[in-house]
A = this chain, B = another copy of it.
Amino acid sequence: MNEIELIARLIPSLATNESVVAGAGDDCAVLDLGLPNDFVLFKTDAIVQGVHFTSETEPEKIGHKALARCLSDVAAMAGKPTHALVTVALPREIEIELVEGFYRGLNELAARHGVGVVGGETTTNPERCLLSIAVLGIVPKNKCLLRSGAKAGDAIFVTGTLGGSLLGKHLEFEPRLDEARWLAQHFEIHSMMDLSDGLATDLRHLLKASQAGAELLASAVPISREARVAWKDSINGQPKSRILDRSPRPPLLAALTDGEDFELLFTAASRDAVRLLDAWKKQFPGVPLSCIGKITATRGLFIKDKEGLRPLTEHGYIHFS
């Protein structure tokens, strides 16, 4: 049983109350605490040494990543993060420079987005560091974007470029908060989420929530420079560089499955696609936006390349001839 199956099994028994608009299963929980115009967003996320960073990672980058992952989830709802709490678990000897480094990294990011860091705690985890962040945010009730709103015929968009994040981006990415709010304010976005487990897996979550299918266009998937270089180096027999525990894969496969991209995946009516792409280019000239396919009424996730339309298999691995 994997995490997804476990959570699916636990969700029906979770305690709830009338102020829960959306509980477990989207990027953030959505709560109606009684604010006249806004919902409250609530999210936690943890990163662990040896899994999400190594003992060599700079502490500032660890702190940045820990908070940025949570902020990316707030972005995925088109929300504005407001407050964060920090839990640091680490071996008994508190290395003050380490903890101060964590806090430097996350404070800088928090300040940039107006987030108040309102406390936290340190506790003991004898073998390795673990950082857990909880964030609060707000979102206008009529602008909150869920995973579940994709409609057949929607165009599918993704920001930035995908793949190879473990070569560095996963420690340095800036959550797409401004971009997400701009999208919600200026266009009728039907569904949105952030990419953390890789496009192939995450899109499948969006499709499940929306009870729909999708066709991707292979040539439209924006592949990162890092994913291309890593693959080229590996073909040339170069060392696998800094990719943590995976061999480089063909660039398209990397873009579909590497994970930790922390880009936005969203859908909108196809009639809005050109206007959206044009307006985006003016608003965010430094950030690529790609239309990578369409939502279909037929279930299942397919990808079209020069050999035709083929199903994308469960974990995003496709057979390349």
Question: Which positions in A face B, CB cutoff 8 Å?
Answer: 1-3, 6-7, 9-10, 13-17, 19-20, 23-25, 28-29, 31, 33-36, 38, 40, 42-48, 50-51, 82-83, 85-87, 89, 94, 96, 99-100, 103-104, 107, 110-111, 114-128, 130, 132, 134, 136, 138
B20 and A116 contacting across the interface, CB-CB below 8 Å = yes
Which of B1, B10, B42, B123 is the one whose CB lies under 8 Å from A48? B123
| Cβ of A66 to closest chain B Cβ, rounded Å | 12
Q: Is the CB of A15 within 8 A of B132?
A: no
**Which residue of A50, A99, A119, A136 has the most chain B CB atoms within 10 A of its CB atom?**
A119
Contact between B42 and A134 (Cβ–Cβ < 8 Å)? yes
In the complex, how many angstroms separate the beta carbon of A20 from the nearest chain B beta carbon?
Answer: 5
* Alpha-carbon gap, A7 to B20, bound state (A): 33
Q: Residue A31 contacts which of B3, B83, B132, B134 (CB distance < 8 angstroms)?
A: B83
A/B interface sample: 18 pairs, CB < 8 A = A6-B122, A17-B82, A17-B116, A19-B83, A20-B83, A23-B116, A25-B119, A31-B82, A34-B35, A35-B35, A42-B118, A44-B85, A48-B124, A51-B124, A89-B130, A125-B130, A126-B128, A136-B136
Which of B44, B86, B118, B128 makes the CB contact (< 8 A) with A120?
Answer: B44
CA distance A86 to B23 in the complex (A): 12
Shortest beta-carbon distance from A40 to chain B in Å: 7
- Asked if B118 contacts A23 (CB within 8 A), the reply is yes
> In the complex, A96→B128 CA distance in Å?
24
Compute how far the CA of A223 lies from the CA of B19 in the bound complex, rounded to whole angstroms: 41
Residues of B within 8 A of A10 (CB): 99-100, 103
A130: chain B residues at CB < 8 Å are 89, 125, 130
**For the complex, what is the distance from the CA of A10 to the CA of B106, rounded to whole Å?**
12
- How far apart sit A128 and B85, CA to CA, in the bound complex (Å)? 23
Task: Give Cα distance in the complex from A97 to B6, angstroms.
Answer: 10
- Chain B residue nearest to A1 (CB atoms) is B96
Take A83-B31, A89-B130, A111-B15 as given contacts and tell me if A120 and B6 are in contact as well, using a CB distance cutoff of 8 Å: no
Bound complex: CA of A294 vs CA of B51, how far in Å? Answer: 51
Say whether B83 contacts A29, CB under 8 Å: yes
Q: Assuming the A-B contacts A20-B118, A118-B20, are A6 and B83 also in contact, with contact meaning beta carbons closer than 8 angstroms in the complex?
A: no
**Which chain B residues border A42 with CB–CB below 8 Å?**
83, 85, 118-119, 134, 136
Instruction: List B contacts of A136 (CB < 8 A).
Output: 31, 33, 40, 42, 136
On whether A48 and B17 interact (CB within 8 A), knowing A96-B6, A136-B42, the answer reads no
- The minimal Cβ–Cβ distance linking A244 to chain B, given in whole angstroms, is 13
Which one of B82, B107, B114, B126 lies within 8 Å of A50 (CB-CB)?
A: B126
CA distance A234 to B113 in the complex (A): 56
Which of B33, B110, B119 is in CB contact (< 8 Å) with A35? B33
A136–B28 CA distance with the chains assembled, in angstroms:
14
Given contacts A15-B115, A107-B15, A125-B128, contact A6 B99 (CB under 8 A): yes
The chain B residue with its CB closest to the CB of A19 is B82
